[in-house]
Amino acid sequence: MAGKKGIKTIGVLTSGGDAPGMNAAIRAVVRSGISHGLNVKGIRRGYTGLINKDIIDMEARSVSDIIQRGGTVLQTARCQEMLTEEGVQKAADNAKDAGIDGLVVIGGDGSFKGALALSKHGINVVGIPGTIDLDVSCSDYTIGFDTAVNTAMEAIDKVRDTSTSHQRCSIIEVMGRNAGYLALWCGLANGAEDILLPEIYDYDEQQIVDHILANRKRGKKHHIIINAEGIGHSIGMAQRIEAATGLETRATILGHMQRGGSPTCKDRVTATTMGCYAVDILCEGKKSRVVVEKDGHITDFDIDEALAMQKDIPEYQVAISRSLAI
Ligand code: F6P
């Protein structure tokens, strides 16, 4: 049985940093594709696999028992070759050779740039936002964020216990090279005294020192600073703050543990919905789209327009985090 609008074969790949829920999205794309009567191909290691023809046939059973697993069974890569015209050409040629009429790309903005380049070479693409950073501008939500923020929140609660016992200052570094959403949400969820976001941090350490000393006078037993990876240097910062305040200060870098683990219900359901939606719009004949969550609904945007959109750090949440840290 052939799919609608001339689509017979679709491909799916995961690209960039992995995120919990990517497997649920892969499962939805594969099984929804098969339900629509399509052939489904899995491309391993993201665009690297497409450039190297690492393409496998996917059956309903290929995606058994993965909905609850972190990581991505298709594996992923940050593919430098896709930044070159030769790389994009090779990827497009290989997609055409494999008979792929529609390619589902699960990843972040960087991965969508690759998808846009492929679309300019005649490959029909649909993006699904998947990154723990929440920094895909066109979408209110990205698959993996909820799991990652809950993983980090639980870890920070544990650091807080020991920080209070020892009446210390604790700097906890969370992921986010360019984006502070994870740091902001952890800061709010963990009741942090300071949240350092790459988007707005002014590198004024004296202000942090003054805040710590003022809070000590108010009777606070600890001082939690959430520092985003993009600012980094948490160990040096801890040494400087200890020297300036006279208070024991420790740094904890949570690192890649935030990217792993079993996806939360929200990530599984969002990934499943977006995966099915991507296949539906391919079958409707839509071209060059990104699936997004906007105002509580799953919808889709043109990929060119999607990539031009901007998303800001919510000022209100930054303001309340400050007003509560007294
Ligand atoms: O996937 C997003 C992210 O985890 C960022 O928060 C972080 O800055 C980056 O990836 C780390 O990338 P890598 O996997 O190359 O260490």
Ramachandran angles phi, psi of 103, nearest 5°: -115, 125
Which of 14, 75, 112, 133 for a ligand 1 pocket mutation test, highest count of atoms within 8 Å of Cβ?
A: 133
Which residues, in sequence order, are bridge partners of residue 9? 39
Using alpha carbons only, give the angle 318, 235, 312 rounded to the nearest 5 degrees.
Answer: 25
pLDDT at 253: 98
Please give the number of the atom of ligand 1 that sits closest to the Cα of 131. Answer: 1
pLDDT at 3: 53
**In b/e form, how buried is each residue of 166-193, taking b as 16+ CB within 10 angstroms?**
eebbbbbbbbbeebbbbbbbbbbbbebb
For ligand 1, atom 12, name the residue with the nearest CA.
Answer: 17
pLDDT at 6: 82
pLDDT at 2: 45
pLDDT tens for residues 259-289?
A: 999 999 999 999 999 999 999 999 999 999 9
State the catalytic residues. 133
Sheet with 39-43: strands ordered across: 55-58, 39-43, 9-14, 102-107, 125-129, 289-294, 297-302
pLDDT at 93: 98
pTM of the model: 0.96
The separation between CA 3 and the C-alpha centre of its own chain, rounded to angstroms, equals 31
pLDDT at 1: 41
DSSP string, 43-59: ETTHHHHHHTT-EEEE-
Stretches where the chain sits below pLDDT 50 are 1-2
Distance 285 CA to ligand 1 centre (A): 34
Which two three-digit tokens encode residue 71? 């990581």
